[in-house]
Amino acid sequence: MHRRDPRAKIAALMVFLVVLATAHRALPAFGLALVLLLSAALIWARLPLFSALARAAIVLPFSLVFAAVCWLSGDPARGFSLLLKSYLSALAVLLVVSTTPFPALLRGLEMSGAPRFLLMVAQFLYRYLFVISEEAQHMSKAAASRGATVGSFVAGRSKGRSARFRAAAGALAVLFARSYGRAEDIHRSMLARGFLGRFQPFGALRFRATDAVFTLFASLAPVLLRAAVERAM
Amino acid sequence: MPHPLPPGPRPPAPGPRPLSRPLIEVRGLRFCYEDGTRALNGVDFRLERGETVALLGANGSGKTTFVLHLNGLLAGQGSVEICGLPVNRQNIPEIRRKIGLVFQDSESQLFMPTVLEDVAFGPLNSGMSREHAVERALAALETVGMSAAAARAPYHLSAGEKKRVAIAGILAMDPEILVLDEPTTSLDPPGQGALAELLVRLPQPKILATHDVPFARALCDRAVFFQGGVIAAEGPVEDIVIRFGWELALERSKLRR
C-alpha cells in the first residue's frame, strides 16, 4: 500500500468518504463492516492497528459537541451517526496519510486538481510545524540546563497561579517570536534561490496498472459492503 | 592553535585598477528597519572581477543588512547594480541567479526532505527539467565532497556538512558571484580549514562577511570595514585588521588563555 501512487489512494479515499457520508440505513452494521475493512487495510500496510484505532479518536472531542447538541434536541440517532462517520473518516484519512510521504501526498492532491494555494499553505504549515518543534526543543534544553522543568512552568508550588501562568505565557510568546524569526530566515533563503511562490515537483509520479487495479478494488470495497449490509438488513 | 587554513591569496598585480565594469556597484545605500534601527547610512562598494573581499566589522555594524541588499531581499535607498543590472523587481529573478547567497545559519537554508532535493531546489526554480536539476545538484554535491549524503535528511548532518550542502545548493545555480554571511560560524577549526580549501578552489569572485580574521587573511584580496552602517575603511586585510585594533584583540584573547 505504501508503494501505490498517491492519486490512487486519494481517489479511493474520496469514494470511501462519499459512500460513508451518504449512508443512512443500518449504520451500526455498516460502521462495523467499515472498521473491519480499514483494520484489514492497516494490517496490510503493516501499521500498528490499535495505535491507529486510538489515534483516529482524536476527532471525537470535536464531533462529540455536535453529537450532544443532536442528542439534546431529541435526535440521538443523528448524534450517533455523526460520531461514527467522523471517526471512520478520520481513520481512513489516517491510513492514507500514514502510507504516503507528505510531499508525495501534496503532489498527488495537486495533480488531482486541489487548489495550489491551499496546498502551498499546507506545505509551509508542515515545514513550520517542525520549526516550532525545533525551537521548542532548543528552549526546553536551555531551560533545563538552568534547572527548570516543564512542570515548574505549570505546577511549581513556590509561585502563585498567576505568576506560573505569566511565565508559561511568556515562554510561549518567546517560542512564537523565535519561530517567526526562523520562518522569516527560511523564507528569505528560499527567495534567494529563486522561489517564485510555487514548489517545483521533484519526484515524478507514475500511475501504473497496479495502481489502477488498487483504485478499482479499494473504491469498490465500501460500495459493495454498503450494498451487502443494506440488503441483509 | 592556528587554523589549518591554506596560504593566502597572491597580492594583486601592481598598476591601475581595471577599467571594466565592476561585478557589483553600490552607491549611497541607506536602509532603516521597521523598528527605526538605521542599519546602513550611505554605503559605497565595488566588487571587481576575480576579487575576494572580506566584510569586517562588529556585530550590528550592517554587514548582513548589506549582503541582503545584493540580491534584493531587502530594498533600501541608493543604487545597487549586479553585473550591470540594477536590483529592481523586474531584474530580481536574473540577479538571484547571478548572486549565490549562503546564509549564516545553514539550518534555515536547508528545508527540503533530502539533501539532493534541497540542492536541486534552486535549479528547479530556475525552470530546469528534473533530470537536468538532479544532474546539476549531484555535480554540486561532488564539488563540495558531499555526494555520499545525497539521500540523507539535512537535519542529520553535522554543522560543517550542513554548511557544505548549503554551498552546494548555491553552486547548483551556477552563480557568477558567491556571497557568504559568517561562513565559519559554528564550525570547528578542521571544518573552517576544509571550508577555506573549498572556497579557494571555487573560481567565482566572493564576498565574505565575517569576524574570522585568519579566515579573511587566508582568502581575501582586500577587506572593507563596516562601522555604524557605513564603510569606515577599505584596503588590504592586514592593514584593516591593525587599523581597527582587531589584531590586538586577537592577541589579547590568546594571552588570556
What are the tens digits of pLDDT across the range B167-189? Answer: 999 999 999 999 999 988 878 88
- Interatomic CA distance for residues B26 and B139, integer angstroms: 33
* Partners of B53 in beta bridges: B207, B222
- Is the Cβ of B117 closer than 8 Å to some Cβ of chain A? yes
State which residue of chain B sits closest to A195, comparing Cα positions. B125
Distance CA A199, CA A180 (A): 21
Neighboring chain A residues of B111 at a CB cutoff of 8 Å: 127, 186, 189-190
What are the residue ranges spanned by the domains of chain A? 6-112+203-232, 116-192
Q: Report the residue of chain B nearest A185, measured CA to CA.
A: B108
d(CA B111, CA B22): 34
Contact indicator for B207, B16 with CB cutoff of 8 Å: no
The kind and range of the H/E element at A20 are helix A6-21
- Greater pLDDT, B37 or A147: B37
Any CB–CB contact under 8 A between B149 and chain A? no
Helix or strand (DSSP H, E) at B179:
strand B177-181
Cell for A39?
483494520
Residues of chain B with CATH 3.40.50.300: 21-90+176-188+205-257
pTM of the entire predicted model: 0.70
The tens digit of pLDDT for each residue in B63-103 reads 999 999 998 999 999 999 999 999 998 999 899 999 999 99
Task: List residues in chain A touching B: CB distance below 8 A.
Answer: 101, 103, 127, 134, 182, 185-186, 188-196, 200-202, 204
Please give, rounded to a whole number of angstroms, the shortest distance from the CA of B71 to a CA of chain A.
7
Q: What is the pLDDT along chain A (233 residues), one digit of tens a residue?
A: 888 899 999 999 999 999 999 998 889 999 999 999 999 999 999 999 999 999 999 999 999 999 999 999 888 999 999 999 999 999 999 999 999 988 788 888 888 888 877 887 887 777 777 777 877 887 888 877 877 665 665 555 555 667 777 777 887 888 888 778 878 888 889 999 988 877 777 767 788 899 999 999 999 999 999 999 988 87
pLDDT-derived band at B2 (thresholds 50, 70, 90) equals very low
Specify the pLDDT at position B248: 58
Q: Assess contact for B42 and B29: CB atoms under 8 A.
A: yes
pLDDT at A153: 58
Looking at domain B21-90+176-188+205-257, its CATH class is alpha beta
B94–chain A Cβ distance below 8 A for any pair: no
Does position B14 have pLDDT exceeding 50, yes or no?
no
Contact A190 B105 (CB under 8 A): no
Q: Is B122 within 8 Å of A194 when comparing Cβ atoms?
A: yes
Reduce the DSSP state of residue A93 to 3 states and report it: helix
Contacts of B196 (CB under 8 A, 6+ apart): B3, B5, B6, B215, B218, B219
Q: How far apart are CA B142 and CA B221, in angstroms?
A: 27
| Closest CA of chain B from A169, distance in Å | 24
Could you give the C-alpha distances from A219 to A32, A213, A230, in angstroms and in order?
Answer: 18, 10, 18
Q: B193 — contact with chain A (CB < 8 Å)?
A: no
Instruction: Give backbone dihedrals phi and psi of B225, rounded to 5 degrees, phi first.
Output: -115, 120
The nearest alpha carbon in chain B to A135 belongs to: B107
